[in-house]
Structure 1
Amino acid sequence: MKKIIKWFLKIVLLIVLIAGGFVGYLTLTEYKPKPIEEIQIEQNPTLKVTQNQTISLMTFNTGYAGLGEDEDFVMDGGKKGRPDSKSVVEDYLDGIEGLITTHDADIYLLQEVDLKARRSYEINQVDHYKALLPTYHSTFAYNFNAVFVPFPVSLTDYIGPVKSGIQTLAKYQIESSERHQFPGEFSWPLRVANLKRAMLVNTYSIEGSTKKLVVVNLHMSAYDGDGSLRAQEMNYLKTFMETQTSLGNYVIIGGDFNQTFPTAVDIYPPKPGLYQAYPIEANFLPSGYIFGIDITDPTCRLLNQPYNPNSELTQYYIIDGFIVSDNITIDSVDVIQDDFKYSDHNPVYMTITLN
């Protein structure tokens, strides 16, 4: 019996040492971006933004082409950590590209775009979208950069390495691009393999004007139990908007806010036991800004099960859309209702005019 206990203790000690070494490795390799970083611009076109111009935009959380209609996800109460095969991801990616080309926009704001990740079978989706829109500029900022995400569903179904982020593509010549790191983070050791949320801020000169067009692509925090991360991110965003107002710039902010817009709070109330998207405070917007949203259709579904519009367990959200400064007229905003075929989000399409 003493020998058995001795061997058992040795095994426990070995497991502790391995686990400690693994956490230490993740800590040493943790992605630690600067507060603001310059982003490389690729495929910069010559077309320029002009005064009184009408511009169309699409924001679309693509779900790394791995969260289409047949998928669920363990963090949402489902069973899976990634799609069953590379061909599944390729099919979803084809569908996403079809939505992009069918709904022609001047500017695309894409979220959850994998550069290289096990969960999407290492398909470089950034290059896919660049090739799809060769006459558009492309900028990309990390929102998730971890050498390994130790979140196992099973010994074979786990997330693993992830390089992923937000990508903006536009047909206009771009002046500068920056990654703005949101404040706040999870505590150690959870933070070392978690998302590092950011804004991708692109600035465009306007012919005949000293003002700039500032376009922000963002994907804000989810799974934030006490709301502290959301509060810090929203405060940062609010301060950013106030600064742009003082400069007199034209501002468009779009993406996945992971929060319900104030006018959409009661449309899809959370069902018992399912994930709740907390509301944006009714007085959040600083003076001079308005929301650009469509509340006639959901923009997101919960991944607790494969998509089934007739199921009582299907939970919808309205968390994707835009914020614009009041020197911009919103001509139209529409959810592109695609029944979540290729992502757990529907795209949102907006047209605006620079006043």
Structure 2
Amino acid sequence: MKKILKFILKVVVLIVLLAGGFIGYLTLTEYKPAPIETVEIEQNPTQQVATNQNLSFMTFNTGYAGLGEDEDFVMDGGQKGRPDSQDVVEAYLAGIEGLISAHEADFYLLQEVDLKARRSFNLNQVTHYQDLLPNYHSTFAYNFNAVFVPFPVSLTDYIGPVKSGIQTLGRFKVESSERHQFPGEFSWPLRVANLKRAMMVNTYTITGSTKQLVVVNLHMSAYDGDGSLRAQEMAYLKAFMEAQTALGNYVIIGGDFNQTFPTAVDVYPTKPGLYQAYPIESSFLPAGYQWGIDITEPTCRLLNQPYEPTSDLNQYYIIDGFIVSNNITVNNVSVIQDNFKYSDHNPVFMTVTLN
């Protein structure tokens, strides 16, 4: 009996040591970006934005080509941690590229684009979109950079290494591109293998104007239980907008806010027991800005089950869209309803005119 107890004790000690060593390794290799970092610009064109120009934008959370119609996800109440095969990811990726090609825009703001990640079978999606749009510039900033994500805990179904982020592609010459790290973080040790939420700020010269066009691509926090991360991120974004107003710049902010827009709060009420997207306060926008959103269609679905359009268990959200400065006229905003075939998000398309 004593020998059995000693053996069990040794096993427990070994497990504790291994777990401690693993957490220590993740801590030492934790991604720690600076508050603001310069982003490399790929395949930069020479064409410049003009005054009084009409421009079009698409924002699309691509779900790393791994969250299409046949998927659920354990964090949303489903069962899976990643798609079943590389073929599945390649099919979703081809569908996403088809949507981009079918809706020609001057700017594409993409979120959850994997550079290299086990969850998407290490397909470089950044270069896929660059190759799809060879006449567009491309900028990419990390939103997730972890050497290993042990969640969900399973011998075969785990996330593993992730290099992923936000990618902006556009027809015009970028003068500068920066990654802005949002303030706030999860507590240790949860933060060491978690997302580092950020926004990417691209600036463009406007011919005939002393002002600049500023295009922001963002992907804000989800699964933030007490809302403290969201509050810090939104305060940072508001201060940024106020600074741009003082400069008189033309500003377009697009992406996945992971929060319900003020006018969409009652469109898709949260069903009992399902994930709730926090509402954005109606007073959030500073003077000089307007929403560019469409509340007639959902922009996101909960991944509690594979998508079944007629199911009563579906939970929808309106969390993707734009913020636009008042020196820009919003001509049209519409959700591209694709029934979540290739991602858990639908793209949002907007046309504007620079005044």
TM over 0.5: yes
Partner of 1:78 in structure 2? Answer: 78
For residue 136 of structure 1, what is the amino acid of its counterpart? Answer: Y
- CA apart distance, 1:146: 0.1
Partner of 1:351 in structure 2? Answer: 351
For residue 156 of structure 2, what is the amino acid of its counterpart? Answer: T
Whole-Å separation in 2 of the counterparts to 1:77 and 1:33: 31
Give ranges in structure 2 of 5+ residues lacking alignment: none
Whole-Å separation in 2 of the counterparts to 1:146 and 1:174: 28
Q: Is the 8 A contact 2:260 2:319 kept in 1?
A: yes
Partner of 1:66 in structure 2? Answer: 66
- CA apart distance, 1:223: 0.1
* Aligned partner of residue 4 in structure 1, secondary structure: helix
- CA apart distance, 1:156: 0.4
The answer to whether structure 1 residue 182 and structure 2 residue 186 are counterparts is no
Partner of 2:300 in structure 1? Answer: 300
- CA apart distance, 1:67: 0.1
Whole-Å separation in 2 of the counterparts to 1:208 and 1:290: 25
Partner of 2:115 in structure 1? Answer: 115
For residue 236 of structure 1, what is the amino acid of its counterpart? Answer: Y
Give ranges in structure 1 of 5+ residues lacking alignment: none
TM-superposition CA deviations, 1:242-272 (whole Å, max 9, x none): 0000000000000000000000000000000
Partner of 1:131 in structure 2? Answer: 131
Partner of 1:322 in structure 2? Answer: 322
Q: Is the 8 A contact 2:73 2:80 kept in 1?
A: yes
For residue 231 of structure 2, what is the amino acid of its counterpart? Answer: A
Q: Is the 8 A contact 2:56 2:351 kept in 1?
A: yes
TM-superposition CA deviations, 1:292-343 (whole Å, max 9, x none): 0000000000000000111111000000000000000000000000000000
The answer to whether structure 1 residue 5 and structure 2 residue 16 are counterparts is no
Q: Is the 8 A contact 2:74 2:152 kept in 1?
A: no
TM-superposition CA deviations, 1:129-164 (whole Å, max 9, x none): 000000000000000000000113521010000000
Q: Is the 8 A contact 2:152 2:159 kept in 1?
A: yes
Q: Is the 8 A contact 1:79 1:153 kept in 2?
A: no
Partner of 2:313 in structure 1? Answer: 313
Whole-Å separation in 1 of the counterparts to 2:5 and 2:266: 58
For residue 165 of structure 2, what is the amino acid of its counterpart? Answer: G
Whole-Å separation in 2 of the counterparts to 1:153 and 1:277: 25
- CA apart distance, 1:71: 0.2
Whole-Å separation in 1 of the counterparts to 2:90 and 2:180: 31
The answer to whether structure 1 residue 52 and structure 2 residue 36 are counterparts is no
Partner of 1:151 in structure 2? Answer: 151
Aligned pairs for 1:1-355 within 5 A: 1-355=1-355
CA RMSD, 1 decimal: 0.4
Whole-Å separation in 2 of the counterparts to 1:338 and 1:199: 26
Whole-Å separation in 1 of the counterparts to 2:253 and 2:102: 23
Whole-Å separation in 2 of the counterparts to 1:282 and 1:185: 25
Whole-Å separation in 1 of the counterparts to 2:66 and 2:351: 28
Q: Is the 8 A contact 1:166 1:218 kept in 2?
A: yes
Whole-Å separation in 2 of the counterparts to 1:290 and 1:271: 29
Q: Is the 8 A contact 1:199 1:216 kept in 2?
A: yes
Q: Is the 8 A contact 2:42 2:139 kept in 1?
A: yes
